[in-house]
Structures are given as structure tokens and as C-alpha cells.
A and B are shown apart, each in its own frame.
Chain A
Amino acid sequence: MQELTLGQAVNQALREEMSRDERVFIAGEGVGVSIHSDPRMATYGLLEEFGPRRVKDTPVSEAAIAGLAVGASVMGLLPVVEIMFNPFFTIAADQIVNHAAKLRYLSGGKSKFPLVVRIKTGAGIGAGCQHSHNLEAWVAHSPGLKVVMPGTPADAKGLLKSAIRDENPVIFIEDMILNFVPGPVPEGDYTIPIGVADIKKPGKDVTVVTWSKMLGAAFKAAGQLEQQGISVEIVDLRTLVPLDEATILESVRKTGRLVVLHEATRTGGFGGEIAALVAEKAFDMLKAPIKRVTAPDIPVPFSKPLENFYMPNEVSLMEAIKELF
């Protein structure tokens, strides 16, 4: 199987979907001519292949980029637009939260907005809090949007294809560090359904629900705990909205213990949603309190020791899991 980074997997999905369907176009800052000529980047080479009609380099104008997607999609195009870093989503947020998410409802179901907003996210790049801020809970809190956050290159390819073929606005959030980690990706056309979680590793004693980059920390912790006799089941959510409640509940009913792991800060984070779901629907199956392992409620600091402190890792996850036994 081919080995690709998440960025390359996204690139392949874009290329295949643009070839398959003339209505797909991409737009964003540097999606055509980027300052990087790095083939690991998601839109590398697409301008050469599809030309400037379908690969639109835009001015630094996040609100207009998002609005472009809203207007073009209602007219029958399939826009895939890019917001360079997650914090700049807030500039596009009016168009995404107040318009993309609500206009179908406001039309009484008559119009549809089949658009994708790709957003790069994640700490660990030494760029500080105005480039690193995981805001998935903000979008998940806006009814009308679907929210996808892949943790492997293979999932990224299959999920992006589903997102492009979906008739709704989909927010597709890609962790930047995952652009530097290759993994196996099937060749050719395949899709992964939006709204279906994946049990990345089966286990008996504790369920770890996680997504995106934190999948790596979950695997590391699970490997070490296995040697200490604790069997960890890793549920990779992949999609936050719609949420695959059944897979989460089934896993917790089996293991009786739950830890939610995410890189975003704690208060109002999506981990709280998972915890509430399990408390509501599987409380009597729990052998121990639910735990959340998250970043502390602070902006992402620049200095290396501070940034490392910010990001949850396998050590903090293992500590939390051990407290459940």
C-alpha cells in the first residue's frame, strides 16, 4: 500500500474528486502558489494540473473565502475552501456559522449548501497561540455543520471524499503535525462514511475516546499499559458531528471505564459532550468516574517547554487511566 502523509492523502482525495466531478473547485490563501514547494502539502501541484479556473488563489480575505463557498455552493458548485490556520476561522466564522450552517434551515429546506471548509490546526509547530488553537468545539456547537477531524492519512482521504460528496456544509479539520507522519493509504477511489467512529484498537478494560493527532498518544499509552496488564480500547471518533453514539456506548458498556482525550482546551471542549453522553446513557455500566485528558485552559504558549506542557501526551493519559483502577 502507498505511504502518504495526511497532507498527501488530502491532496490525492482533492485530485481524484476534481477529476471525477467538474463542479469541484478549490480556493484559499496559497492553495495554488504556496510559499512551500513541499509535496507533503495538501494542495501541492493542483494548480498545474487543473489550472486557475478551478484552483483559486485568493487574497488574505477569510470572510470572502467562506462567503465564496456559500454562494457558489447554493448555485450548484462544490467548493472546497481552505482556512490556513484554525485561529483565522474566527474571521470566516460569520459566513460559516451564521450563513453556511443556517441558510438551508432558513429556506425551509429548499436550498442546499454542499461546501467543504478545510482548516489546518494543532499545536506543536512553535508558532504560538495565534496560529495554534483547536476550535472544533466551536463549530460542533453550530447546528447545521458537519465536523470531521481525521487522525490517519487513510481516514483523511476517505472522509474528505465523503465530505465533498455530502450535500451539507462540512468542516474538515486537519492537524498540521500529521502532515509530517506517513501512513498506509489505499489506492484509488474509496469513501469512509461521515458519522462513523472507528475502533482503532480493541481492548477490554478501558475505553479511550479520541480524535486527530491525539490518536498517536493513545496508541503509545495503550502499548505501555498492555505490558502492565491493562487492555485499552481506542475509539477514534473521526467525526464529531454527527456523533457515532452507538460505537461509544457499546465500547463503554464493554469496558466499564471511559477516558476522553483531546488536544483542545478543557472548558467547553468536545470531551464534555462525550462525558455527558455516557453519563446519560451508560451510567450504570461505569465502574469508575469518567476522566478527561485535555490541554489546560490557556492559549498555546510559544516557548518549547511551555508548549510541551500544553499538549496532552501518553504520560498524562496513562496517569488518568491508572486512576480508574
Chain B
Amino acid sequence: MDNNEQKKLLRMMLLIRRFEEKLVDLSKDPQKLGGMMIVCTGQEAVAAGVGAALAPEDVIISNHRSHGHLLAKDAEPDLLMAEIFGRRTGYNKGKSGTLHIAAPEVNALCTTTVVGGGIPIAVGTAFAAQYQQKDFVTVCFFGNGASDEGSFHEALNMASLWNLPVIFVCENNIYSGAQRLEEHTKVKDIADRASAYAMRGEMVDGNDALAVYEVVQKAREDCLAGAGPVLIECKTYRWGGHGTNDEQLYQPKDEIARWKEQCPIKKLKASLMQAGTLAEQEYQDMEYEIRLIVERAVQFAEASPWPDPAEALEDVYA
């Protein structure tokens, strides 16, 4: 990756971070922003690294922690924000809200909040690529908890059997709801589960955006060359609770502090500054620009009309 691309990676992580910080802030007032709110703070390197490795025609299937995935796939911040606000101008006209945003415009075809529900769907989109002899891959995002669902195991088996062009990206953030990894599975590394399906399993530092980018890019090339699916486990950490209503009583404070030291943004910024390719002023300009983008998105959402109640009846059937 050249310097410019690395800066783009940094910028994307910063956009995801500031976008979601704003959401968390707004959701403190349920009159302003109601409903469940689930963010990926601390895990931005996975979204950004994967996004940078993908082409526009590549498909992503996302889960409940989706804002970062969508932004990194070049979804419009304005339309995302409006959807999260439940407005008619949002990606899904307010039907979806924060949890299930689909942006087919950028091949973010499905966000499902049914844990593990997206993994078999990724088999289907990858099958379509193989069937139609098209050169695109599917990336499916899910958490460590999702790898306990039957859907994960059935999907990996079939994808491997049929050599499908799909990259399974597990964001192992150590938690599944209030459970720690060792409380929900005996397996230490989710990547090990690949061997049960004769599939390549990779482990990567999920707080290192460059490393994520590289391993996904390689997997993408392999997929397109017909080498079959790959399971990539990104080792990362959920800074906050499961959702904004979670007091995190079960998450050790020193553990959180240790991982905050591993902040993916801080990490890449330091390495770029050390290499002399990024100046503090340039970083400040980036911050400023991103703040404007986020502010504009909130203004767009707040100025957007609510859907008319009867619009609830639309879009059920084609």
C-alpha cells in the first residue's frame, strides 16, 4: 500500500469513529435518537482494512455491528444517518433503522441482526458469482459468538465443498453479549474452525488496518483464482458494551484500558508520522473535514421528513 492509500485507511477509521461517537452522543436523548444502538468503537481497523481490499463490485454481508462495514464499503454518510434516524430519505426509507441497513447501491446487500444469519446468505451470493462466472467476491462479517451457531458450520462446509469465492471475516472482539470467549467456546482461535471444513484459516491482528488489508487482499486474489473460501479471524476488542444500554459490569476495566492502548487509529497514525508521511497539521485537517461530514449528515437526517405512517404498507412485495 502506498502512502496515499494508507492515509485513506486512516481517514476511513477516523470517519467511522467520529460517525459513531456522534450516534452514541445523540442516543443519550431518546427523543432525538431512539431504539437500540450498537457501535464498533475499537474495531474500525477490520471494517477499514476489509473495505480497502475490496472492489466496488464485491459484495458484503454485515451484522448488527454494521456502521463501519457500510462506511468502508463507501456507503453515503448522509443516507446512513437518515436511516438511523428513521427518516424517509434514509437508505431503507426508515424501515430498517440502525440494525439492518442494506445499501445495494454499493453492494452492501444485506445486514442481518439474526446472529449467524448472514453466513449462509454469503454462500448464496458467492454461488451466484461462480454460477454466472463473474469476478467478484463476497465478504461476510460476523462475531466470535456467531461462530457457535449451526448456520456458521453448515455454511462453511458448503462453501468449502463447492469452492466458492467467499471470505468469512470473524471479528473476534473477545465478547458475545456479556459472555467472554472462553465462556462460549472451548476453541481458543476461531480460525481453527476452518480446518474442520478443509478450508484455509487465517489469523490477523484486527487492530492493524494494514495487516487486515493485506490478508484480505490475498484472500480475494485466491478466491478469484478459484482457490476457494477463506476464514479470517481478526483479533480485536469491543471498547464499549454490547450496545449503548450496556453498563459493561462484566468487562474488566484494566482490560479495556490495555486495549485502548492498541487503538487502531493511534497505531496507524503513529506509524505514518514516524515514516514522515503524515504531519500533525494534515491529521488535524483530516479531523476537521470528517467533523464537517458527520455534522452535515446529522443536519441532513434531522431536516429530513419522517415517513408517512401509511408508507409502512409499501415495499413488502416486489
Do the two shown chains form a genuine complex with each other? Answer: yes
Residues in chain A within 8 A of chain B (CB atoms): 29-30, 33-37, 57, 59-64, 87-88, 91, 125-131, 296-299, 301-306, 308-310
Contacts of A88 in B (CB 8 A): 114
Contacts of A36 in B (CB 8 A): 245-246
Nearest B residue to A298 by beta-carbon distance?
B316
**Contact between chains at A301 and B312 (CB < 8 Å):** yes
Report how far A37 CA is from B246 CA in the complex, Å: 9
The answer to whether the Cβ of B252 comes within 8 Å of any Cβ in the partner chain is no
**Contact between chains at A128 and B99 (CB < 8 Å):** yes
**Contact between chains at A304 and B313 (CB < 8 Å):** no
Contacts of B307 in A (CB 8 A): 303, 305-306
Contacts of B178 in A (CB 8 A): 30, 33-35
Nearest A residue to B241 by beta-carbon distance?
A35
Asked if A297 meets B316 with Cβ closer than 8 Å, knowing A60-B149, A303-B306, the reply is yes
Contacts of B312 in A (CB 8 A): 296, 298, 301, 306, 309-310
Majority DSSP secondary structure for residues of B touching A: loop
Report how far A111 CA is from B146 CA in the complex, Å: 34
Besides A34-B178, A37-B247, A128-B99, 6 new A-B residue pairs in contact (Cβ under 8 A), listed by A number: A60-B116, A60-B145, A130-B99, A298-B312, A302-B97, A304-B86
Nearest B residue to A34 by beta-carbon distance?
B178
Contacts of B309 in A (CB 8 A): 305-306, 308-309
Contacts of B146 in A (CB 8 A): 60
Contacts of B243 in A (CB 8 A): 35
Report how far A130 CA is from B35 CA in the complex, Å: 13
Which listed segment binds A: B179-187, B208-216, B260-268?
A: B179-187
**Contact between chains at A33 and B179 (CB < 8 Å):** yes
**Residue-wise interface mask of B (271-314) relative to A, using a CB-CB cutoff of 8 A (1 in contact, 0 not):** 00000000000000000000000000000000000111111110
Residues in chain B within 8 A of chain A (CB atoms): 34-36, 86-87, 93-100, 112-116, 145-146, 148-151, 176-179, 183-185, 241-243, 245-247, 249-250, 306-313, 316
Q: How far is the CB of A37 from chain B (nearest CB, A)?
A: 6
Q: How far is the CB of A231 from chain B (nearest CB, A)?
A: 31
Report how far A46 CA is from B95 CA in the complex, Å: 37
Report how far A59 CA is from B186 CA in the complex, Å: 11
Which of A30, A87, A298 lies in contact with B313, CB distance below 8 A? Answer: A298
Report how far A309 CA is from B312 CA in the complex, Å: 7
The 4 A-B pairs at the shortest CB distance, nearest first, are namely: A302-B97, A303-B94, A126-B35, A303-B86
Report how far A97 CA is from B305 CA in the complex, Å: 43
A-B contact count (CB 8 A): 124
Which of A61, A63, A128 lies in contact with B100, CB distance below 8 A? Answer: A128
Report how far A30 CA is from B311 CA in the complex, Å: 36
Nearest A residue to B247 by beta-carbon distance?
A37
Contacts of A302 in B (CB 8 A): 35, 86, 94-100
**Contact between chains at A126 and B97 (CB < 8 Å):** yes
Nearest A residue to B35 by beta-carbon distance?
A126
Report how far A301 CA is from B35 CA in the complex, Å: 12
Report how far A306 CA is from B305 CA in the complex, Å: 13
**Contact between chains at B95 and A301 (CB < 8 Å):** yes
Contacts of A303 in B (CB 8 A): 86-87, 93-95, 97, 306-307
Which of B151, B308, B309 gathers the greatest number of chain A CB atoms within 10 Å? B309
Report how far A130 CA is from B97 CA in the complex, Å: 11
Asked if A301 meets B176 with Cβ closer than 8 Å, knowing A59-B185, A61-B149, the reply is no
Asked if A130 meets B311 with Cβ closer than 8 Å, knowing A35-B241, A60-B116, the reply is no
Which of A37, A62, A301, A308 lies in contact with B94, CB distance below 8 A? Answer: A301
**Contact between chains at B34 and A130 (CB < 8 Å):** no
Report how far A53 CA is from B191 CA in the complex, Å: 30
Nearest A residue to B250 by beta-carbon distance?
A33
Nearest B residue to A304 by beta-carbon distance?
B86
Nearest B residue to A299 by beta-carbon distance?
B316
Contacts of B96 in A (CB 8 A): 128, 302
Nearest A residue to B111 by beta-carbon distance?
A130
Report how far A36 CA is from B313 CA in the complex, Å: 34
Contacts of A301 in B (CB 8 A): 94-95, 312
Report how far A303 CA is from B307 CA in the complex, Å: 8
Contacts of B311 in A (CB 8 A): 306
Report how far A61 CA is from B185 CA in the complex, Å: 11
Which of A59, A125, A297 lies in contact with B176, CB distance below 8 A? Answer: A59
28 cross-chain CB contacts under 8 A: A29-B177, A30-B177, A34-B178, A36-B246, A37-B247, A59-B145, A59-B179, A59-B184, A61-B148, A61-B150, A88-B114, A125-B35, A128-B113, A129-B100, A130-B99, A131-B36, A131-B113, A297-B316, A298-B316, A299-B95, A301-B94, A302-B86, A302-B94, A302-B96, A303-B306, A304-B34, A306-B309, A309-B312
**Contact between chains at A35 and B95 (CB < 8 Å):** no
Contacts of B113 in A (CB 8 A): 128, 130-131
Asked if A296 meets B114 with Cβ closer than 8 Å, knowing A36-B245, A37-B247, A305-B307, the reply is no
Contacts of A306 in B (CB 8 A): 86, 94-95, 307, 309, 311-312
Which of A87, A126, A297 lies in contact with B34, CB distance below 8 A? Answer: A126
Q: How far is the CB of B170 from chain A (nearest CB, A)?
A: 13
Report how far A64 CA is from B116 CA in the complex, Å: 14
Q: How far is the CB of A309 from chain B (nearest CB, A)?
A: 4
Contacts of A59 in B (CB 8 A): 145, 148, 176, 179, 184-185
Q: How far is the CB of A315 from chain B (nearest CB, A)?
A: 12
**Contact between chains at A35 and B177 (CB < 8 Å):** yes
Q: How far is the CB of B225 from chain A (nearest CB, A)?
A: 34
Q: How far is the CB of A257 from chain B (nearest CB, A)?
A: 28
Contacts of B250 in A (CB 8 A): 33
Contacts of A91 in B (CB 8 A): 114, 149-151
